[in-house]
Amino acid sequence: MDARKLALEAIDKIINKKSFSNIVVNEFLNKFELSIEDKNLFTSLVYGTIQNLMTIDFYLEPYIVRKKPKPWVKHLLYMSIYQIIYLEIPDYAVVNEAVDIANIKDKSIGSFVNAVLRNFLRNPLRTLDGYDDIQKLSIKYSHPSWLVAYLLKDYNFEIVEKILEENSLIKNDAIRINTLKTTKEEVLKELDEQKIEYTPTELVKNGLVIYHGIANNPLFLDGRITIQDISSQMVAEVAAPMENSLVLDLCAAPGGKTAHLAALMNNTGKIFACDIYPHKIKLMEKTFSRLGVENVSTQLIDARNVATHVKEESFDYVIADAPCSGLGVLSHKVDLKYQITIKAIEEVEYLQEEILEKTYMLVKHGGFFIYSTCTINKDENEKQIAKFLRRHEDFEKVEEKVILPFEYHTDGFYICKLRRK
């Protein structure tokens, strides 16, 4: 199967049906037989085109403004211009492939695609002259104008531009060494023997940035390592649970942080991992089995209802990796920036407040509540916690971390450790 034809189908599905890009990409990769080179090209074309959609549309617009091509033709042009601007593929090859794809679908379209692309190649890229600062950032980094303005309420212009630029980069995966099954030294030795490139980090104890696909490697399959972003690994380390503790993980799926807590506790004590979706419970249980986690009990329950089933002051640690807008993970979820709305953010802020208000009493006096999100919006983070502390003077802030995406080339994260006096 041709990688470019498949990529066009995937891009069509993501744009027309508002499907999540990572789900579509995985669906296509599992469904069709492709060489490693074609898999890489397919993935690059889909993610890259979606990642830079607004920028590409801005450059393409003058050449089709009067034509109004069908959606699939426009998407073919998007994919072609992405290759011309961002990839080191000869222009003639991009044009020829695009024309061939167009002719297969509709012979009358091939000449139109050829004309548009050759006209585009003959002219310099459209400039951003005449646009205001927010519009320039929006077009240059392919983020909606409202989202740029929204970030500017919390951060200055230079910081916002760094965030947007980082969001436009494809990040390398990170792994966590699972100390329930191995040691850091043993994993480093095996990676070296396999000539798999990695970079250590001082941000967490057992994390590495990896430059090679690892999901089919024996190290991953037998549970000695797991894929987890470095900033996500910080959550369990900030929590720092003591052995033999009682821990409640309120929004646990997909289970990476829970498994990390179990490793830090050396499989002692008890962790109750909650989620509201049965399929996510099954996913967590599969992950825990692979990683050798033995001290976790999964619970199918809404975090807001846990207090109706559990006595107050039951847990040494309560962890709430709360639902959030996800503005810290836009480099991974490349289509989220086009789908998120202010209304959705406001709704999730209310949900976060509900979770805090309906679970804080489960923490023992002297125990800890750890609140985290994968967003960088202060209304969901610092301001949410500030409001909580004003309402509950028996809690105090022990540690607070804000991780912006560009600082360490990780996901953006917020982590706050509270202690009940």
Domains (ranges, CATH) in the chain? Answer: 3-122 (1.10.940.10), 133-167 (no CATH), 235-420 (3.40.50.150)
Whose CA is closest to 143, among 117, 163, 115, 125?
163
Distance of CA 112 to the CA centre of its chain: 37
**pLDDT of the residue at 43:** 93
User: Would residue 374 show up in a list of annotated catalytic residues for this protein?
Assistant: yes
Could you give the 3-state DSSP secondary structure of residue 72? Answer: helix
The string of pLDDT tens digits covering residues 124-146 is 999 999 999 999 999 999 999 99
The string of pLDDT tens digits covering residues 183-231 is 999 999 999 999 999 999 999 999 999 998 898 899 999 999 999 999 9
Per-residue pLDDT averaged across 331-358, rounded? 95
Indicate whether 1 pLDDT > 80: no
The string of pLDDT tens digits covering residues 75-124 is 999 999 999 999 999 999 999 999 999 999 888 899 999 999 999 999 99
- CB count in 10 Å sphere of residue 101: 22
Say which of 251, 274, 374, 416 is annotated catalytic: 374
Do residues 121 and 145 touch, judged by C-beta distance below 8 A?
A: no
The string of pLDDT tens digits covering residues 249-264 is 999 999 999 999 999 9
**pLDDT of the residue at 409:** 94
